Amino acid sequence: MLLRRAHNLVCYWRDGSFVIQNYLAGPEVSLAPVAAEILAAFSEWASVDDVTASFPDSDPDSFRAAAGELHKYGFLVSAEDGDRDAELAETWQTWSPEATALHFSSKDADYTESAEVNEDFRAGRRTALFKNYPDADRILLPRSPIDLDASFVRTLYQRRTHRSFKQVDLPLPTLSGLLSMVFGPSEFLDGQDFGALMKRTSASGGARQELEAYVGVFAVDSIAPGLYHYNCLEHSLELLDAEFTREQAAHLSFDQAAVGEAAITVFVTAVVERMSSKYRAPRAYRVMLMNAGHLGQTFALTATALGLGPFQTLAFRDSELEDALGVDGIRETALYVLAAGLPDGRGEPHYTAGLAAFQKAELYPSKEQRR
């Protein structure tokens, strides 16, 4: 059997131990530093016996056993198990190893087992929320009068993350408008050497528009429940799975009730090569993540303006979600989960209460104060 060193390895020291991790397959193993020498010898396809000959001072049986362990952990791959390794090397090559290691080593985090809030934080030992420079000279800015009746300002201050929804159907025009305004094209531009470019209402680095929307429809007038892909050019929903349910959506998001109750759930993915084909440096991975954040904020504000309650989360089961969407997790990978429905008002702070607090604190003057 021929073996080769996996493309997706990182090595580092932790607590005095030499650690090797295959960030695609997941394992992180402490080994003797000599393991790096063995891996270096398998830079090309070779048999264990051929490589053993390059280590004349090693016991052949011990060397074969060591190579077998490295293969078991996925640090060495065979032709039979190397397809996914090769796909990753091809698709993410311009961003590797920096972006690739971060993305794949942080996939499939178990939110049900990990403590997201540590005890020191709960006990009050927290980093300050605000930063200032006590010794710096200050210029106090004017409290500019803002028309708090303006629809845009009202939308900004009405935005809340909603976690419970009325179990009623959304009107079809509401869903249509939400998808169009958030994910659809707002304009097409002549990019000259870069070809025709599509703009959205959200910022997108280089107008590459690498983000795709998959919509779980659960309660919308005139649309059968199921999983759809939003074809933004055609402004249509393409049915992928008519059996996709609320329960599945919730499970894929670590059983968060908000995802299960929402009228729609939008799974946002990234088609990696749309971005990496233009921007070759690994820093572009940051741009891709920020683009998802821009789009998520536009979703939240647009949903609010339409009278919906938005919800967003990064807690999802990466590989299971990608399987459900029918994407490979390498060329196209899941990034974000968004949801919306008609809020039922339970536990949600009311906009006017927040407004009154602002006015009481004199952050913004009332209409009477402005006269």
Question: Taking the chain, what is the end-to-end CA distance rounded to the nearest angstrom?
Answer: 85
Q: Is the peptide bond before 134 cis (omega within 30 degrees of 0)?
A: no
Of all residues in the chain, the percent with pLDDT exceeding 70 is: 86
Query: Position 224: which residue type?
Result: A
Residue 286 and residue 281: Cα distance in Å, rounded? 10
Mean pLDDT of the chain: 85
pLDDT tens for 203-217 read: 998 889 999 999 999
DSSP string, 343-358: B--TTPPPHHHHHHHH
State the pTM of this model.
0.79
Q: How far apart are CA 362 and CA 323, in angstroms?
A: 52
Q: Tell me: the pLDDT tens digits for 63-112?
A: 989 999 999 999 999 987 767 888 888 899 889 888 988 898 888 877 66
Q: What are phi and psi of 319, to 5 degrees?
A: -65, -40
The conformation of residue 92, written as its DSSP 8-state character, comes to S
Sequential DSSP letters for 6-54: -SSEEEEEETTEEEEEETTT--EEE--THHHHHHHHTSS-EEHHHHHTT
pLDDT tens figures, 232-274: 999 999 999 999 999 999 999 999 999 999 999 999 999 999 9
Q: What is the pLDDT of residues 113-149, one digit of tens each?
A: 555 556 776 677 777 766 777 887 887 766 666 565 6
Work out the angle between the directed axes of helices 284-305 and 151-158 (0-180°, nearest 10): 110
Q: Which residue has the higher pLDDT, 223 or 166?
A: 223
For 45-63, how does the pLDDT look when each residue is reduced to its tens digit (9 = 90+)?
A: 999 988 988 888 888 899 9
Q: For 281-291, what is each residue's pLDDT tens digit?
A: 989 999 999 99
AA letter at 228: Y
Hey, what domains does the chain have and what are their CATH numbers?
2-91 (3.90.930.70), 151-341 (3.40.109.10)
Number of H helices, E strands in the chain: 15, 14
The candidate with the shortest Cα–Cα distance to 281, out of 107, 90, 103, 92, is 92
Over 80: is that where the pLDDT of 302 sits? Answer: yes
The pLDDT tens digits for 164-191 are: 888 999 999 999 999 999 999 999 988 8
pLDDT band at 364 (very low <50, low <70, confident <90, very high): very low
Is the predicted pLDDT of residue 356 greater than 90, yes or no?
Answer: no
